[in-house]
Amino acid sequence: MTELMLDGARLQGEMPETEWVGAMRETPVDTPIDEIRRRFAAEAYVCVPEFFSDRDVSGVRRAVFGHLATAGEVQGDPEKGIYTGSSQRRQRIDDLGQFWREISEDWTLRRVSHSRALHDFCDILLGEPSIAHDFIFLRVSNYGRKTLVHNDHGFFTRSTDNVITAWIAFGNIPLQMGPLFILENSHNHPRVQESIRNFDVARDTGRKASWSETPLEAARQLSCRVLTRHMRPGDLVVFSMKILHGSLDNVDPNQHIRLTCDVRYQPRSESRDPRYFGPDPGGTTGQGYGELVGAIPLDEAWHIR
């Protein structure tokens, strides 16, 4: 299990407390299939270290950060992903949605997010052949960024509840750079179950998917721990639609950009939400890739859903 180095880490500006923060359990890729399924059924997540190769990760970093360099957001060697502190994206790019779509559909990225290996692993978790959503969520998180506490149920279960999220780390992500966290066993809490009942983010526009509580406040209220780890290049975390999660704050003083991607998988046999499938998917609200935080220049605030 990875030791947590909490010094300097932040959760929505708060210092992590050892009582409420723990390390994710690691599930090596060669773990017996029955044990992988048992862990996922019980804990609603599995964390697989180094699922993807360094070569795959390096290729994605070169492709994505190369694009951001053209927008004046990355300096020096693009693969290192160092933020310039400003952006020229609006000045240099005519269509921000199309810009982000081209990055998100780059074959270097898709051969990882839609790889045979990931399909096979999701087959194990779903218990039958899987299919990946065509619409993916690529995120570049520079200094000060974080993802608030939420779950994915209200975004992706309009056609079937049987959907899972695959989160991929494209680089070294220590706690100070804002890796993923999971709120341990939160999927079983009555408050969480009630919060997702009949909730659809795109339909119920008067409600937010993100919780108003900070991760530590939510952990205390639900009597659970914030689980995270120092993510390494190629690490994979797959989790359910119901479990609460988010990210730590990126407070890296050297301006490293956190690069991650999450893609949804579901049984091939079940109904497919047309918002996320096809050659021109509209995404959650129908605005395509322009609706994603990734399409927002790095010097502008993210929206909250």
Q: Is residue 276 part of a domain?
A: yes
What is the residue-wise DSSP string for the chain? -PPP--TT--BTTBPP-TTTEEEPPB--TTS-HHHHHHHHHHHSEEEETT-S-HHHHHHHHHHHHHHHHHTT-EESSGGG-EE-SS--HHHH-S-HHHHHHHHHT-HHHHHHHT-HHHHHHHHHHHTS-EEE-SS-EEEEE-TT----SB-SHHHH-SS-S--EEEEEE-S-B-GGG--EEEETTGGG-HHHHHHTTT--TTT-TTS-SS-SS-HHHHHHHHT--EEE--B-TT-EEEEESSS-EEE-----TT-BPEEEEEEEEEETTS---TTTSSSS---TTSSGGGGSGGGS-TTSPPP--
Q: Across all residues in the chain, what is the average pLDDT?
A: 97
Q: Which domain holds residue 227?
A: 21-295
Q: Is residue 283 part of a domain?
A: yes
pLDDT digits (tens, 9 = 90+) for 48-100: 999 999 999 999 999 999 999 999 999 999 999 999 999 999 999 999 999 99
pLDDT digits (tens, 9 = 90+) for 225-244: 999 999 999 999 999 999 99
Query: pTM of this prediction?
Result: 0.97
Q: What CATH number does the domain containing 222 carry?
A: 2.60.120.620
Per-residue pLDDT for 161 more than 80? Answer: yes
Q: Is residue 182 part of a domain?
A: yes
Q: Is residue 168 part of a domain?
A: yes
Per-residue pLDDT for 1 more than 50? Answer: no
The pLDDT value given to residue 2? 54
What's the average model confidence in pLDDT over 17-34? Answer: 97
What's the average model confidence in pLDDT over 184-212? Answer: 96
Q: Is residue 107 part of a domain?
A: yes
Q: Is residue 16 part of a domain?
A: no
Q: Is residue 9 part of a domain?
A: no
Per-residue pLDDT for 301 more than 70? Answer: yes
What's the average model confidence in pLDDT over 34-43? Answer: 98
Inter-residue contact 3 to 23 (CB < 8 Å): yes
Q: Is residue 12 part of a domain?
A: no
Say how many domains are in the chain. 1
The pLDDT value given to residue 233? 98
Q: Which two tokens stand for residue 94?
A: 């005519």
